[in-house]
Amino acid sequence: MKNKWMKILLYLVIISIVTLSAAIAAVAAERRFVSSGETVLDKKTNLTWTKNMEMSNKPMNFKAARLYIQNLNSKHFGGYNDWRLPDKEELIEVAQQLGTELAKNDRLLYQVCTQAGHVNALGFTNVNCSVRKKHWAYGEMPDKSPVGVIMIAKRERMVDRGALLYVWAVRGGGKAGSVTAVAEEERFVSSGETVLDKETKLMWTKNTNLNKKPMNFKAAKLYVQNLNNKRFAGYDDWRLPDREEILEVAREIKKEIMQNFRSLHNSCYVEGQADVLEFSNIKCSSERYWTDNEFPENQAFSAYLSLATGGRADKGDVFYVWPVRGTSRQQEEMARAASLKSNVSGGAAASDRRISRVVESKGSDSSRYYALIIGNNQYKHLPKLTTAVADAEEVERVLNSKFGFKTKLLLNATRRDILSSLNDFRKTLEVHDSLVIYYAGHGYFDKVADRAYWLPVDAQNDDPVDWIIVDDITSVIKRISARHILLVADSCYSGTMARSADADLVTRGDRTEFIRQAQKRLSRKLLASGGNEPVADKGGGKHSVFADAFIRALQEMNDSSFAAGDIYNQVKKIVSGRSEQMPQYLPIRNSGDEGGDFVFRTRK
């Protein structure tokens, strides 16, 4: 009998301890969450939440959720204007506390949940207790893509941005300064018949299919001209976009389509067009859009918006027209061009950062020598190189110190960096100027298309949208007014830019007369590290075998003036003796070369 009562007593003690612990936990939880008017403060994290978890009354897509938060801030809800969407850790933390509270009163709360779908707990109202309902939250760095958090289950789910979820706003607290605390702004702002890209300052027509039907290139130009005559949307400076402009927007469109695949699938891939971001009637199929980038052989560049890629097409083909306006591109070019005329020399460059540097010529000669020098090591999606940055920096030093070149150095450059810089020189160089373009980085040759490419640091292995086809380099070179242009390319397959006919590199007779004649005629020459073949990234100490030979040849030339062909003769001997690759020196194909040669002059 005594043992029986002892067991009963022990049982009662255990129940009392459990009950007391639950009561203490409940008090602690209540003390942690302090309700005040329309808000609840979490004293542990110092986050302030809206008291009502379903203030919006109905679920909404991600864009609408962000606009709803902006509206709360504009109204100073609860006396604050810094409300935001929570990140998933913040939301799940509160969900765990609510789950504990619901578990303690499971019978009563279960009955309320099943009847009403929500309960009041820990100072919050309309606590969602359905596994079918989710709340918007930000995911993990770096892209902080939105996720849906199921409060009752305390877990997140990946969702389309077009999905309909509930909104619960938060502000301040223990994660101040995190990415979620930074107010986000919409990049594309719609106004009437136009959309402004706040990042590029370009204005696009809201309707990407204004003309309602595809047309050839000439008709597209006339269509844009007609828009200007009518002052569409109040403007008369509409134009066709260039390749970079339309592909930049296309990348954002493609990303939005992929993030909202489920909600956009029917309109985009069944009906053939969709409204994406702030733009309407975007063609999602194989339809293309014209740009103003023209090529020889009656061709122009056209782009796929939903794929963020494009290519050349005959001007007689029929594609859609999407006009753009704005001066941001021209202003940027003018600013970069102005930078070529200012002394912006700097300290030593770091090989793991994107760097653009301009160094003025200090020579007294009235002739003007320029150099664009590119070295790419830090590839984002391709194998990194080890010597390209060091090669570029040393080439810049030698050209400036020994020959007085005005140099622009690009380290770890993107497609936009390279093409923009080339275009700067197209706008600023004059007929008596000379230009060296030096490129060290990855290259690629497409055997099927018989095309070679430079690969900037943002190039992807399976997506050519950020590759630079060498034909584009040639087109820019052809339009530069400089009398002499020497392209020095240390990359795989770099020799494919040249004509098949060899240049005459032998300097016969009087050397002074040869130099005079070489300078007199227009030249567009390629000095390549190899032909249509891979080349080595090492072999010359801290430089590639080709770069080391090129730098040594420049340094060891003692004549006051000499031709690039003389450099080639030296480079060829060094490289062929130390590797299997064979450097090339030839006129650049379709560039306007007239048989001259680039002449170097040592600084006086």
Report pLDDT digits (tens) over 10-57.
666 566 555 555 554 544 445 788 888 889 888 888 888 888 887 777
Residue 363 confidence (pLDDT): 42
CB 601 within 8 A of CB 561: yes
Q: What is the DSSP letter of 344?
A: B
What is the arithmetic mean of pLDDT over 592-603? Answer: 85
Q: What is the DSSP letter of 267?
A: I
Residue 464 confidence (pLDDT): 74
Q: Rounded to an integer, what distance in angstroms lies between the CA atom of residue 313 and that of residue 274? A: 25
Residue 528 confidence (pLDDT): 86
Residue 219 confidence (pLDDT): 93
Strand-pair partners of 190: 195
Residue scoring higher pLDDT (598 or 348): 598
Give the CATH number of domain 188-326; options: 3.30.70, 3.30.1310, 3.30.420, 3.10.100: 3.10.100
In 501-602, where does DSSP find H-type helix?
A: 511-520, 545-556, 564-578
pLDDT exceeds cutoff 70 at 129? no
Residue 282 confidence (pLDDT): 73
- Sign of the torsion formed by the C-alpha atoms of 162, 165, 171 and 175: negative
- Of 220-229, 289-298, 570-579, least confident by mean pLDDT is 570-579
CB 507 within 8 A of CB 566: yes
Report pLDDT digits (tens) over 136-185.
777 643 444 666 665 555 555 666 666 778 888 888 864 433 333 333 45
| Matching residue, tokens 């301890």 | 17
Angle between the 388-403 and 545-556 helix axes, to the nearest 10 degrees?
A: 10
* Phi and psi, residue 583, nearest 5°: -60, 155
- Of 204-213, 262-271, 447-456, least confident by mean pLDDT is 262-271
Residue scoring higher pLDDT (107 or 422): 422
Percent of the chain with pLDDT over 90: 12
Confidence of residue 327 (pLDDT cuts 50, 70, 90): low
Residue scoring higher pLDDT (236 or 139): 236
Bridge pairing between strands 434-440 and 289-295 = unpaired
Strand-pair partners of 170: 49, 84
For residue 394, give the H/E element and its range. helix 388-403
Confidence of residue 331 (pLDDT cuts 50, 70, 90): very low
pLDDT exceeds cutoff 80 at 515? no
Q: Rounded to an integer, what distance in angstroms lies between the CA atom of residue 217 and that of residue 296? A: 14
Give the CATH number of domain 28-181; options: 3.10.100, 2.60.40, 3.40.50, 3.30.70: 3.10.100
pLDDT exceeds cutoff 80 at 195? yes
Q: % helix / strand / coil in the chain, to the nearest 5?
A: 35, 25, 40
Structure tokens at 177: 């300064």
Q: Rounded to an integer, what distance in angstroms lies between the CA atom of residue 103 and that of residue 100? A: 5
Mean pLDDT of the chain: 75
Please tell me the number of Cα atoms within 13 Å of 269 on its side-chain side: 9
Instruction: Tell me which amino acid residue 332 is.
Output: E
**Measured between alpha carbons, how far apart are the two ends of the chain, in Å?**
116
Domain topology for 329-601: Rossmann fold (3.40.50)
- Best-predicted range by mean pLDDT among 30-39, 316-325, 531-540? 316-325
Q: Domain boundaries in the chain?
A: 28-181, 188-326, 329-601
Q: Rounded to an integer, what distance in angstroms lies between the CA atom of residue 154 and that of residue 131? A: 10
Of 146, 163, 156, 173, which is closest to residue 96 (Cα–Cα)? 156
pTM over 0.75: no
pLDDT exceeds cutoff 80 at 359? no
CB 286 within 8 A of CB 318: no
> SS3 for 99?
helix
Please tell me the number of Cα atoms within 13 Å of 520 on its side-chain side: 6
Q: Can 188-326 and 329-601 be said to share one CATH topology?
A: no
- Best-predicted range by mean pLDDT among 239-253, 255-269, 350-364, 489-503? 239-253
What is the arithmetic mean of pLDDT over 84-90? Answer: 83
Report pLDDT digits (tens) over 219-228.
999 999 999 8
Q: Is the peptide bond before 142 cis (omega within 30 degrees of 0)?
A: yes
CB 249 within 8 A of CB 329: no
Bridge pairing between strands 289-295 and 442-446 = unpaired
- Of 150-159, 288-297, 470-479, least confident by mean pLDDT is 150-159
Q: What is the DSSP letter of 517?
A: H
Measured torsion, CA atoms of residues 242, 245, 248, 252, in degrees rounded to the nearest 10: -110
Q: Rounded to an integer, what distance in angstroms lies between the CA atom of residue 121 and that of residue 126? A: 8
| Matching residue, tokens 């100027």 | 433
